A and B are shown apart, each in its own frame.
Chain A
Amino acid sequence: MTVLPTRLDTSGPAYTADRAAMLEKLAALDAEHARALAGGGPKYVERHRSRGKLPARERIELLIDPDSPFLELSPLAAWGSDYPVGASLVTGIGVIEGTECLITANDPTVRGGSSNPWTLRKALRANEIALRNRLPLVNLVESGGADLPSQKEIFIPGGALFRDLTRLSAAGIPTVAVVFGNSTAGGAYVPGMSDHVIMVKERAKVFLGGPPLVKMATGEEADDESLGGAEMHARTSGLADQLALDEPDALRLARRTVHRLHWRKSGPAPDSRLRPPKYDEDELLGVVPGDLKAPFDPREVIARIVDGSDFDEFKPLYGSSLATGWATVHGYPVGILANAQGVLFSQESQKAAQFIQLANRRDRPLLFLHNTTGYMVGRDYEQGGIIKHGAMMINAVSNSTVPHLSVLMGASYGAGHYGMCGRAYDPRFLFAWPSAKSAVMGPQQLAGVLSIVARQSAAAKGLPYDEDADAAIRAMVEQQIEAESLPAFLSGRLYDDGVIDPRDTRTVLGICLSAIHSGPVEGARGYGVFRM
């Protein structure tokens, strides 16, 4: 046992102020989540219920095991876009008959559950999570199909939805479609491509072309039921494997279907001894300074998320701006990389590259805790090979095959975002705290850089420089970059899997690690050429 000490002064003014700032951000986050939870609003939810139908989240609640956790993914999808927050789709990881599954449910109260470009991205992300972590996929389908005005964004990339289903199946990952209502035209391929199909009697409607289209195409007169009713598919076409009498029956059948998968996780089992951290997770609210310019010790975070606050540091005296070490989270061994002073230097980069290689040799998942302003710049550093060393770290991260988890606690700027396994480096899961910010650089720096470039350009042309205009432009740019660095904005663009309450970090990591271990955990045996 190497129990981390804490230097957090929970009675001091800094802690109190930082905590208050974080609570304010959480209240704002709750308000955004409430928009996702509201779906299409009370009117449409009521209309949906009056038809004897359950809202998407009630379907999920009945589908998963009583008292089991449910981690909703990408809840802020479409935030900041023209489409409703949540993108008319609920996705998440839940436990069905003891088996962790990736669950998706169309929200029919939002424009009939029709898919917009963000729905598509959210669904594809869910499929990716299912595929990479070998999680059985259960789709609760009721969608009016593509949002036609935005078809140009949906139609061509949307084919991946159906491709994914059969690729999951080919990879031996079960797929289950439960059809509660419309699933027509392209949507018909969701049940069409799934391993197991359950349809709700008198509700499911699954056909390539509805009566008007059929009439136009061939002149044939046909009704909905004969073209795509649940009974027809159960008795005649064979597209439905199970005919459910109603929604609860469909969910019951889905649970039986998952039970009969007798799914076994391929990853190693966790140590079952329960060892909560020694320190109160509530204190995570006051760890991150309200102003990200002030660094903070990530060990205060590690001490509140790992088992027993027990952390064995690797190379503590070398590259001290990056803390690396070994711990377990809910019994799952992990390697942790956490930014300690914001900046990544050559030593930190080389330490990270070595640590990542070690983790791969040990088949050990990696957790990246972000608070970085990027790789160090300047003459000495460039001459010292910071590019080479940063490249080593990025090489190691890119080719590492152990599962990666990223949590953006504070800053995640520049190539530091890449080296710490940002979104483009395919971490299995990436979550942000409300305090996080991510961009190519900080808003002030970015505005300042633009200003310097403009000033140099003016000077080169011998033109006078308008200082007032410069100040205005700088302010505007700063504001824009600030807004576009914020978690809700990035989450809206699916650049993370959700914004989480810092106090939930350990729980979220536990759920993700457990899900990850549904698949095998194997390290890389080769990398790109390391430039020495």
Chain B
Amino acid sequence: MITSLLVANRGEIARRIFRTCRTLGIATVAVYADPDADARHVQEADTAVRLPGAAPADTYLRADLLIRAALDAGADAVHPGYGFLSENAAFARAVQDAGLRWVGPPPAAIAAMGSKTAAKRLMAAAGVPVLTVGPEPAEADLPLLVKAAAGGGGRGMRVVRTLAELPDALAAARAEAAAAFGDDEVFCEPYLPAGRHLEVQLLADAHGTVWAVGDRDCSLQRRHQKVIEEAPAPGLDPALRTRLHAAATAAARAIGYRGAGTAEFLLAPDGRLAFLEMNTRLQVEHPVTEAVTGLDLVALQLAVAEGEKLPATAPPARGCAIEARLYAEDPARDWQPATGTVHLLEVPGVDVEFDTLPAPAGLRLDAGIGSSTGDAPAERITVHYDAMLAKVIAWAPTRRAAARRLADALARTRLHGPATNRDLLVRALRHPAFLDGAVHTSFLAEHADQLLGQDAKSAQLAALAAALADATARPGATAPSGWRNLPSQPQHKRYRTTDGAELDVRYRLTRDGLRAEDHPDVQLLGSTAESVDLAVGPLRRRYRIARHGDQVFVDSPTEHHTLTVLDRFPDAAAQLAPGTLLAPMPGTVVRIAAEPGRAVTAGQPLLWLEAMKMEHQVTAPADGTLAELPVAVGQQVETGAVLAVVTAT
């Protein structure tokens, strides 16, 4: 029996597993790298063990440190979560060798599926359909997808459309795979852009029972990473579903699988079904399956690890569940990960966190950072780890109802922090094609023009609301905001949107109310520092305002804007006229470290002046060229003498 469990992971999955542990009465042990020292999963664990350093290779990927931590903390079992070492057979073996219980499939099963190339061969032999390309791909095989054999989560994947690109793509994929997974083996398979990503949740015990616990569709992807997942997969005819589940079960049986796992398939537009890979761990998207089945998959993982027997059949799916992954990233800038501080994450209407939803419908939140209650999370999203902030899961009797509920919850979510994919998620969930079930792996790219972009008018109103909140927030005012006995001009404020657009807000608060330039139909109904009520024509809207540094977060119930306050005065440092450097005092030039005509960078030392027994460094004021250097070593200079002239570039 497990009494104390170490989770060799971080963030939301660590919190998810701890939640089940608390239900079962199992003590919890967290590990953390230095950037995670104040993270939620650390605070929530009974015991936490530091993994010195920041990079995953130094911390969450260090099998030796993790096992040491488990032993030090008195844990008797290790759960790997997903990612990191979750599919590392050597780690699983090392855990077992250390006398600890491994919450996962047998190391041999991991190994069998660990290499996707080997797995495919194994599956083909077991009669499971697979996609293959010969060792020397030809023109006819294009387009191709290059994948890391040891990979997962889209890391190292590359689409190749011409044979000429292939060598570079292979090299780059190898490098990324080696860095991410410690294994540089890569392989090619046919790329089916309009295919659907289907998968089957498997659960097997040590007594010969293998469950196909329903299926999921995870077609909505960007950069080959899942963004929206749902259970069950929509629009599958019963015959196909039966084939899918049978293939998955066959795959599990073929390798003597135990525990939770997922068989992933590609459904081609022509109806062909092909095995992609088997993930020998819990999936990120497991909550949708939990929602529709009512199961606690982590509890079942622990039970199987303890040798318990599964009931003969899995419970049936009820209704539909959809999960959206909220990422700190900028969809409009090629999905670049965003970093920064999350000041607030407030998802309204959450019924449970990390838990199974009570029937018949509801909303679940699995977040790595502070919870929905708005208790000042202020957590840093760093470059070191995955930029997923939270998963939000809606469960409802029908797919459309679940999509509507999830879109609404996301649209109402207050999230003050770096850029996220929230707007894109909302628009995707409300897209007619999505609601019709017309999902495929190129969905987001195909509909990008409808899923991206900001409404300029809405941003302007948000900026106006931000300006008015500030106009109201003047402590101890003895006069109305911006009062003038001789008004000569409006108040003027400037903001920058996340799109980079600059917004000018000009307004006056008069005896007769608000006069906002460009908004003749807008009236101010009321305002405080945190809340502004505007009437826009016949429509009344409330904006909530929060400020963090030079950022203002403006939330209306369904619209959210992050604005950067632009200073009234240009940055003095940026406009300091670079150029002539004069001697600050009389002295002797003792050293020269630059040559005329050479490029210099801002801050680069050019020469040293000795005066009063002290050496004064004279540095380049800006990037540019050292145009003149009219002094020489040993030369005496008077105050104000020209020492150097830097021409800025």
* Bound Cα distance from A251 to B572, whole angstroms: 11
* Known A67-B471, A245-B575, A248-B570; contact A75-B476, beta-carbon cutoff 8 A: no
> Closest Cβ of chain A: how far from B58's Cβ, in Å?
45
Structural contact, B486 and A507, CB atoms closer than 8 A = no
Residues of A within 8 Å of B511, CB to CB, are 282, 503
Inter-chain contact A272/B476, CB cutoff 8 Å: yes
Stretch at the interface among A146-154, A222-230, A407-415, A509-517: A509-517
Q: Looking at the complex, which of A6-14, A55-63, A376-384, A439-447 is the stretch in contact with chain B? A: A55-63
Chain A residues with CB under 8 Å of B397's CB are none
In the complex, the chain B residue whose C-beta lies closest to that of A58 is B489
CB-defined contacts of A67 to chain B, threshold 8 Å: 470-471, 474, 481-482, 491
In the complex, what residues of A have CB within 8 A of residue B480's CB? 69, 507
Q: Which of B569, B576, B577 contacts A248 (CB under 8 A)?
A: B569
A514, B478: Cβ atoms under 8 Å? yes
B613 proximal to A (CB < 8 A): no
Q: How far is the CB of A384 from chain B (nearest CB, A)?
A: 43
Q: B483 contacts the other chain (Cβ, under 8 Å)?
A: yes
The count of residues in chain A whose C-beta lies closer than 8 Å to any C-beta of chain B is 37
State whether the Cβ of A508 lies closer than 8 Å to any Cβ in chain B.
yes
- B575 and A249 form a contact (CB under 8 A): yes
Whole-angstrom distance between the alpha carbons of A53 and B489 in the complex?
16
Given contacts A66-B470, A67-B470, contact A61 B485 (CB under 8 A): no
What is the bound-complex CA distance between A156 and B241, given in angstroms?
103
Is A245 touching B485 in the complex (CB atoms < 8 A)?
Answer: no
The chain A residue with its CB closest to the CB of B582 is A235
B457 at the interface (CB under 8 A from A): no
- What A residues does B493 contact at CB under 8 A? 66
Interchain CA distance A33-B488 in the complex, whole Å: 10
Report if B307 contacts A (CB, 8 A).
Answer: no
A70 within 8 A of B: yes
Closest residue of chain B to A37 (Cβ to Cβ) is: B488
**Does A475 make an interface contact (CB < 8 A)?**
no
Task: Determine how close the nearest CB of chain A comes to the CB of B499; give it in whole angstroms.
Answer: 24
Instruction: List B contacts of A36 (CB < 8 A).
Output: 486
CA distance A236 to B481 in the complex (A): 43
Taking a contact as CB atoms closer than 8 A, the residue among B470, B479, B492 that contacts A510 in the complex is B479
B568 at the interface (CB under 8 A from A): yes
Task: Tell me if A57 and B489 are in contact (CB < 8 A).
Answer: yes
CA distance A282 to B512 in the complex (A): 11
C-alpha spacing A58/B491, complex, angstroms = 11
Q: Within the assembled complex, what's the spacing in Å between the Cα atoms of A472 and B249?
A: 119
Judge whether A470 is part of the interface by a CB distance below 8 angstroms: no
Nearest A residue to B640 via CB reads A235
Bound CA span A386–B493, Å: 59
Interface size class of B (residues with CB under 8 A): 20 to 34
Q: Which residues of B contact A500 (CB under 8 A)?
A: 485
Chain B contacts of A235 at CB under 8 A?
A: 582, 640
Asked if B68 is at the interface (CB within 8 A of a chain A CB), the reply is no
Task: Give the Cβ gap from B232 to chain A, nearest Cβ, in Å.
Answer: 56
B569 contacts A252, CB within 8 Å?
yes
Q: How far, in Å, is A100 (CB) from chain B's closest CB?
A: 10
Distance (Å) between the CB of A403 and the closest chain B CB? Answer: 15
A501 to B481, CA, bound (A): 17
Q: For the complex, give the distance between the alpha carbons of A252 and B569 in Å.
A: 7
Contacts of A57 in B (CB 8 A): 488-489
The docked-state distance in angstroms from the alpha carbon of A249 to that of B488 is 22
Is A72 an interface position by the 8 A CB rule? yes
Query: Which residues 45-73 of B have a CB within 8 angstroms of A?
Result: none
Q: Give the residues in chain B near A72, CB-CB below 8 Å.
A: 484-486
B645 to chain A, nearest CB (A): 15
Q: Which residue of A lies closest to B490 (CB)?
A: A61
**Interface assignment of A487: CB less than 8 Å from any CB of chain B:** no
State the CA gap A395–B473 with chains docked (Å): 45
State whether the Cβ of A521 lies closer than 8 Å to any Cβ in chain B. no
Q: Please give the distance in Å from B514's CB to the nearest CB on chain A.
A: 13
CA gap between A463 and B492 in the complex, in Å: 72
- Contact between A507 and B483, CB atoms less than 8 A apart: yes
- B576 contacts across to A, CB distance below 8 A: 245
Interface residues of B in 170-201 (CB under 8 A from A): none
Among residues of A, the one whose C-beta sits closest to the C-beta of B569 is A252
Give the docked Cα–Cα distance between A251 and B570 (Å).
11
* Minimum CB–CB distance for A488 against chain B, Å: 14
Of A33, A67, A236, A504, most B-chain CB atoms within 10 Å: A67
Q: Are B482 and A69 in contact (CB under 8 A)?
A: yes
Residues of chain A contacted by B484 (CB below 8 angstroms): 69-70, 72
Give Cα A36–Cα B488 distance, bound, in whole angstroms.
10
Contact A69 B569 (CB under 8 A): no
* 17 examples of A-B residue contacts, CB within 8 angstroms: A36-B486, A61-B492, A62-B569, A66-B471, A67-B470, A69-B480, A70-B483, A72-B485, A235-B640, A252-B572, A270-B476, A282-B511, A503-B511, A507-B480, A511-B478, A513-B478, A514-B478
Q: 8 closest A-B pairs (Cβ-Cβ)?
A: A510-B478, A69-B479, A69-B483, A252-B569, A67-B471, A57-B488, A330-B478, A507-B479
List 17 other contacts, CB 8 Å, given A36-B486, A236-B640, A507-B483: A37-B488, A57-B489, A58-B489, A61-B492, A66-B470, A66-B491, A67-B482, A69-B484, A70-B484, A71-B479, A235-B640, A245-B575, A248-B568, A248-B570, A249-B572, A252-B569, A504-B485
